[in-house]
């Protein structure tokens, strides 16, 4: 969710009049109805692609985690512990406090990613503040 937020905030750097776009988005116009200065619509895919140009890890993280933000097979299959034979047609789920599928070290990526996104947000806000003080 943080990645969606950051990519959408960065969209305001890609338009001619960010304040007008912000006013219209607050007024319920969808961000993907606006176009970048190069004429491309501000779709989620485009925004993630733009962010990926500067931060190459973004596309992989977005593709992998969007299945958890929007209901998908990730949420189902990650809980599958085992599958019985074709004749049995059984599926066993494992839901608990411990994660047996992923090593503990993989959980270190989550806060590292979140921290990097906060740095991107900080950069975005600093750029906005600079632009506001000039204009």
Contact 42/35 with Cβ under 8 angstroms?
Answer: yes
Strand positions, DSSP E, 10-131: 80-83, 91-93
CA 67 – CA 78 distance, rounded (Å): 11
What is the reported pTM? 0.66
Residue 5 has pLDDT above 80, yes or no: yes
Check residue 43 and report its DSSP letter: -
Is the pLDDT at 16 greater than 90? The verdict is yes
Query: In this predicted model, what pLDDT tens digit does every residue of 66-112 receive, in sequence order?
Result: 766 666 666 667 777 778 888 888 888 777 777 777 777 877 888 88
Structure confidence at residue 74 (pLDDT): 64
Helix, strand or coil for residue 15?
Answer: coil
Least confident of 34-38, 64-68, 81-85, 125-129: 64-68
């Amino acid at each position: 969710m943080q990645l969606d937020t950051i990519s959408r905030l960065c969209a305001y750097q890609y338009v001619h009049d960010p304040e007008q776009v912000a006013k219209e988005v607050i007024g319920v116009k969808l961000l993907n109805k606006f176009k970048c200065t190069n004429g491309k619509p501000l779709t989620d895919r485009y925004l993630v692609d733009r962010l990926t140009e500067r931060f190459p890890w973004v596309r992989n993280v977005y593709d992998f985690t969007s299945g958890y933000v929007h209901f998908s097979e990730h949420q189902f299959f990650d809980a599958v512990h085992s599958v019985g034979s074709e004749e049995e047609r059984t599926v066993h789920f494992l839901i608990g406090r411990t994660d047996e599928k992923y090593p503990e070290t993989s959980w270190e990526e989550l806060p590292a990613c979140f921290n990097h996104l906060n740095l991107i947000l900080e950069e975005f806000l600093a750029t906005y503040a600079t632009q506001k003080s000039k204009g």
